[in-house]
Chains A and B, each alone.
Chain A
Amino acid sequence: MAEPAGTALGAYRALLGAQARSQTAYRVSFVVDLVGNVGAVVFDVLTVFVLFGVTRELGGFTLREVLVMVALSACSFATADLLVGNIERLPRYVRTGLFDAVLLRPLGALPQLLLMDLPLRKVSRSLFGLVVLVVAVGTADLDWTPGRAVLVVLAPVAGVVFFGAVFVATATVSFYWVESGELANSVTYGGRDFTSYPVTVFGGWFRAVFAYGLGFAFVSYQPALALLGRTDPLGLPAWVGWTSPGIALLAAALAAVAWRTGVRHYRSTGS
């Protein structure tokens, strides 16, 4: 206990190293996974092209403008999924009692869970999302200002934090409802699909809940408007595009509270 911080860091590094070795042990399998994971983003982008093959505009936006939103969404989601996404295995850990073992160790429960199976194969998807973002922003004819240059970096980072918060917050449901199964997917993967398109595509209370109630409008739609220099058809002022880092931090704080409450509420399966 002489240098607790150093010891903990070493332990985390050991966990990560073990993961890296075990996941790359079967090389062919790992390479197939790397390639396969890129496919998910490829199909997301292809879907947009197919939709624009039968229509000229989507929710009042052109292909180039929608591609900026898809790219912001894909890049943010893929990276958050790489870093935090495996928290969606929490229901299994709770059911099998593995979570007990995690709590017994003198390390933080959340970092342990994330490092215990950091899916290295998803690195490819995250990198490809970044490529899509660079291409989309490059072809969108942006009117560059220093503010937009900062925003184009800040927005995906904020998106990663936001989606990470969503992953953690929805996973805590399994502390209360062990067999919550796909429930979290409706907000995580649903959020990814929602943020891939302009908010104007959706309507009614559904849009109100997803875009502003849950905050998904701030992942790609509002920042994209600010980048493209377009006024919001829904009437929000232009500066709202720059609020996404703040919204992301707020979401992270709420997720942290949810996680702490969940862990405190946790009782072992007891079997």
Chain B
Amino acid sequence: MGSVTATVGPAPHPNVILWFRTFAAIAGSGFRRYATYRQAAVAGVVTNTVFGFLRCYLLLAVAAGAGTVAGYDPARLATFVWMGQGLLAVVLLWGWTELADRVRTGDVVGDLLRPVHPVTSYLAADLGRAGYAVLARLLPPVLVGPVFFDVYLPHRWSTAVLFPLSVVLAVVLCFGCRYLVNATAYWLHDVRGPMILWTLSSGVLAGLYFPLRFLPEGLYQALWILTPFPGLFQAPLDVLVEVDPPAVQFALVGGQACWVAVVLAGCRVVQRRAERRLVVQGG
């Protein structure tokens, strides 16, 4: 009421079914958009697989001295690595600058005029992208890994429920983080600095280079409490390899859900402030 920004007006949709239809339509277009880059997907799969070998051998060499490290036996480490290489493209830690680019060029104004909140519409498109990545980028390394290494196959019923949920939460959480990093463009115009910080910290702190449990216990817990990073990557993988009792698996996913709520709320607040600022600039 009396709003000065494009997205805080009265709800444009009278019912929730229509909202879901819009969301699904945007997600579908996200799926189709990424499905067109087939060569790029093949190249990405090859690269993920090569890195799967590199990381798997490295972690197995670490375990060779001690047998079991931080609760992971060699088979669990192999599953951790290969599923991780598949998840990397699904979660998409790196390489998303669409919002920042649109802010810099001014195209973002077009997003603000649409009747769907920008956070919602970008999230829908990202879920569509992730859906395509599950088919094209997740499956190949997950199928190649077991051919060359002994992997751990999960066997609890709770994992079958929690793992897919954990992956979806990781995708949404990662989207939220990327959105926040991109949104700094509203203030900075040049997002290279925040982007470098994000790239560096997300790789290490999410558990890509080594499972975070290799770190001292206190540091690992502090990462969970203070940052969303473990929820991006480490959490779904830990749920999958069943290093903890079921109760802890639930706690990990619960932790992810809390971070999703915090980060998405953060996205909406930042977007609102940014729109005010755009109005002030007259853009």
Contacts and interface: CB of A to CB of B under 8 A. Distances in A.
A206 B55 CA distance: 12
Interface residues of B, number: 37
B57 interface: yes
A185 B47 contact: yes
Given A29-B193, A177-B39, A194-B54, A51 B210 contact: yes
Contacts of A32: 192-193, 196
Of B37, B55, B58, B197, the most chain A CB neighbours within 10 A belong to B58
Contacts, number: 105
B47 A50 contact: no
Interface stretch (B2-10, B62-70, B225-233): B62-70
A56 interface: yes
B40 A179 contact: yes
B210 A47 contact: yes
Contacts of B47: 182-183, 185-186, 190
B214 A36 contact: no
B39 A51 contact: no
Interface in A147-205: 177-183, 185-187, 190, 193-194, 197, 200-204
A58 B40 contact: no
A186 B40 contact: no
Nearest to B51: A190
Nearest to B62: A55
Interface in A1-55: 26, 28-29, 32-33, 36-37, 39-40, 43, 46-47, 50-51, 53-55
B195 to A, nearest CB: 9
B219 to A, nearest CB: 10
B192 A186 contact: no
A135 B40 CA distance: 40
Contact of A39 (B55, B196, B209): B196
A264 B46 CA distance: 27
A59 interface: yes
A58 B61 contact: yes
Nearest to A46: B204
Contact of A182 (B44, B57, B58, B215): B44
B204 A43 contact: yes
B249 to A, nearest CB: 23
Interface in B207-228: 209-210, 214-216
B57 A29 contact: no
A57 B61 CA distance: 9
Contacts of B248: none
A58 B63 CA distance: 9
Contacts of B214: 50-51, 53-54
Nearest to B148: A204
A177 B63 CA distance: 39
A56 B62 CA distance: 9
A217 B236 CA distance: 35
B53 interface: yes
Contacts of A200: 61
Interface of A: 26, 28-29, 32-33, 36-37, 39-40, 43, 46-47, 50-51, 53-59, 177-183, 185-187, 190, 193-194, 197, 200-204, 206-207
**Closest 9 pairs between A and B when the two form their complex, measured CB to CB:** A36-B196, A32-B193, A183-B43, A179-B39, A181-B40, A186-B50, A181-B43, A186-B47, A201-B61
Interface of B: 37, 39-40, 43-44, 46-47, 49-51, 53-55, 57-58, 61-66, 69-70, 148, 190, 192-193, 196-197, 200, 203-204, 209-210, 214-216
Given A51-B58, A178-B39, 10 more contacts: A36-B196, A36-B200, A39-B196, A46-B204, A51-B210, A53-B214, A181-B37, A186-B46, A186-B49, A203-B57
